[in-house]
Structure 1
């Protein structure tokens, strides 16, 4: 039996991969220890979304190499840029997620199979419904690690969701590189069918949050998907559809597949179906071909659609991508545009949370403990409400509670139990 230490960086999809690795290791009798110094093997599950992250991954790999007997590096940076670790003389095995369990202690551990135990983080169950995507974005290095989409059947994912709920999950997080194209490899987008079956066939009180879905994948099923959201209270009325730019010219250079009009049609479909919901989106600021007019179009799109959750990323070149070969914009230009959009973001999001003050939100789920004696809750649209003095109110993760919104702090609200 081996003692292992595992560290995970990046998105919920990466965390799901790590938990599947851990499940297989535990099934084979291996066990986790608190730190790399006590471990026979350390596993580093990497992210490579921006250049700063890449530097952090290399630094952490070097540290772990000196602290443990054996090191395995996996995840997006390992698969897309494995040579970076070799160039830095990091003594490690560079492996695909699926190959990690077999490699631990000379391959005595089996790879994950269909009987993998539920993936739980407190009362949150992480359910990766597929791996890979159908996009070919010019700036993205992650696709080099994940490849094209591979979709397990609806039946298989429903059974995994059922196992998570029966194991105690109160919030299911549906994850993947692009959940909107789930099933595309089999000729049919099936996200709406999967969500409908999870909500109708699984007993218990729980909520479901759908992870990132690119506008192009969602566009073809936008009405069916919005109808499923409207029909099931189990689904958080929340959609993360990253538009990345308000300019069709820039979207074309990014090879994003969708146009602004398609993104707007997705938003319109959800507006028509839902009275209260959260739109989450992403913008890349300072793409090499972005002009002042392109940036202005992005700002206008943000004002028009007013997403309640917005991620703003300043463009950085990723090695081996086509966008890295394009002459970039000056650092100050990117900084100025990022600052302008971030300020607008805070205004838009702050307005959304300010509008909640004085309202009562029923059946909010207590998801996790906060700082001090507080808990973090989510309402029906996945908006975060903090309840202070949680012990006084007898609240703990997994509880459902009606909350009166009493205040807000730009990106979250405060509430008290009714």
Structure 2
């Protein structure tokens, strides 16, 4: 689908390994190690996998050299992501030379599409498990132990893992993900997700609220509700005999405690409603930030992408967000060089960025993903050099817009949830505002800790970070 040149810092999209939590005391005969790549949904899935494995006698370890089972939770959304995973699998194969009984497996979005290649042709893995088949992991591990290759990539119309309590092995102790739905019904022509994750199905709302409440009781203060398109969440509660929309679910989770911040990702422009915006406005603890992918600012390209909205519709939605939620942070996804894109089409995208005034964006140039509608229907005819040049223009413009956004923050006071110490100094705290901007400020004499809320005045900024000072400490 996409190839990335530049993006804002986003830890949830980096390859990252699970490590044992500080409070883990139980001893295990066998151990697993997971690396996750791609979107936040993959990281949430890895927490489900960890729970399943720990129930069957596997414990987490900090490094692959300590493991009996290595799992890589993969992403197919960009060619670069697949290349990174292949490189890691090749490195793990070297571990097997020293430890022949070591099992290596691939989870997630690369599983179905590349199962034969990974298992048989390249012989990089012993087991392949798709996003809807994680419950079968214990049985698949037994097959591998018996000398067989094991695979289950069947997609499901029902599986949501709603009864499994994820194990938070990589938590900072303040933030957590809660998956509210799986799959996607939007057949965007560039996207592989509907083919790797299946059709939309929503979790039981009561299980979502219960998981969120437990996280809050465990000390988590910032929850992100996850879905490929959260705005299309729909669950019919038979006991209450009523349907629960995403707006209703937001209200339910926000009602757990005013000290619990609630975020969500991702929204589709065609589906986000005034009701959702009004619920956000009515609840101070629902963060005032919306990720609203545009992909392209040209109507012809949007139609080829099967995005089902026009630039005019999108701009009206942005204006409505600004009207109901003044000061709301808005970010976007943007693709440069989609099939048949002309210079004028590209200029439409730049103009749309100027009109939308994004605080930050995830910016990519198009690379064809096998199996997508675009791969079957359209020629990938924009030269790579042109794609990269257009992408650089998008990146440069977003840099300008981000600077202007940060300038508007100067002198403002924001409530910041402290997530930990600054990466650069143990004499500084870092946290995020409701608008999802990172703010760093000195500890000074204040007796603060992770998970505290504090008022911070923005005094200056760097390219990606606001800098400030404490104004008022909340009781």
Normalising by the residue count of structure 2, what TM-score does the alignment of the two structures yield?
0.81
Q: How does 1:6-85 map to 2 (within 5 A)?
A: 6-68=34-96, 69-85=102-118
Q: How does 1:170-209 map to 2 (within 5 A)?
A: 170-183=221-234, 190-200=245-255, 202-203=256-257, 205-209=259-263
CA pair 65-182 structure 1, distance change in 2 beyond 3 A: farther
1:341: how far off?
Answer: 1.0
1:98: how far off?
Answer: 4.4
Q: How does 1:85-104 map to 2 (within 5 A)?
A: 85-86=118-119, 87-100=121-134, 102-104=136-138
CA pair 106-396 structure 1, distance change in 2 beyond 3 A: same
Structure 2 runs not aligned, ≥5 long: 1-28, 97-101, 145-158
Aligned to 2:335: 284
Q: Distance in 2 between matches of 1:124 and 1:80?
A: 32
Structure 1 runs not aligned, ≥5 long: none
Check conservation: 1:139, 1:318, Cα contact below 8 A: yes
Q: Distance in 1 between matches of 2:187 and 2:243?
A: 19
Aligned to 1:367: 419
- Alignment RMSD (CA, Å): 2.3
1:56: how far off?
Answer: 0.9
Check conservation: 1:230, 1:273, Cα contact below 8 A: yes
CA pair 315-301 structure 1, distance change in 2 beyond 3 A: same
Aligned to 2:211: 160
Q: Distance in 1 between matches of 2:89 and 2:42?
A: 17
Richer in helix (by share):
1
Give a deviation string over 1:143-181, Cα, whole Å, max 9, x none: 211011110122221111111111111100111222122
1:348: how far off?
Answer: 0.4
CA pair 35-7 structure 1, distance change in 2 beyond 3 A: same
Give a deviation string over 1:87-108, Cα, whole Å, max 9, x none: 4232321112343453344289
CA pair 314-113 structure 1, distance change in 2 beyond 3 A: closer
Aligned to 2:152: none
Q: Which has the higher contact order (CA 8 A, sep 6+)?
A: 2
Q: Distance in 2 between matches of 1:83 and 1:188?
A: 42
Normalising by the residue count of structure 1, what TM-score does the alignment of the two structures yield?
0.92
Aligned to 1:323: 374
- Aligned length in residues: 410
Q: Distance in 1 between matches of 2:132 and 2:450?
A: 32
Q: Distance in 2 between matches of 1:392 and 1:82?
A: 56
Q: How does 1:15-414 map to 2 (within 5 A)?
A: 15-68=43-96, 69-86=102-119, 87-100=121-134, 102-104=136-138, 105-106=141-142, 114-117=163-166, 119=168, 121-122=171-172, 123-183=174-234, 190-200=245-255, 202-203=256-257, 205-218=259-272, 222-325=273-376, 326-361=379-414, 363-371=415-423, 372-373=425-426, 374-387=428-441, 389-390=442-443, 393-414=446-467
Q: Secondary structure of the equivalent of 2:70?
A: strand
- Range with greater deviation from structure 2 (155-164 or 175-184): 175-184
1:279: how far off?
Answer: 0.7
Give a deviation string over 1:272-318, Cα, whole Å, max 9, x none: 11121101111101001211111111111100110112111111111
Give a deviation string over 1:189-245, Cα, whole Å, max 9, x none: 821110011112x13612111111111221xxx210110010001111000110101
Q: Distance in 1 between matches of 2:124 and 2:211?
A: 37
Q: Distance in 1 between matches of 2:268 and 2:257?
A: 30
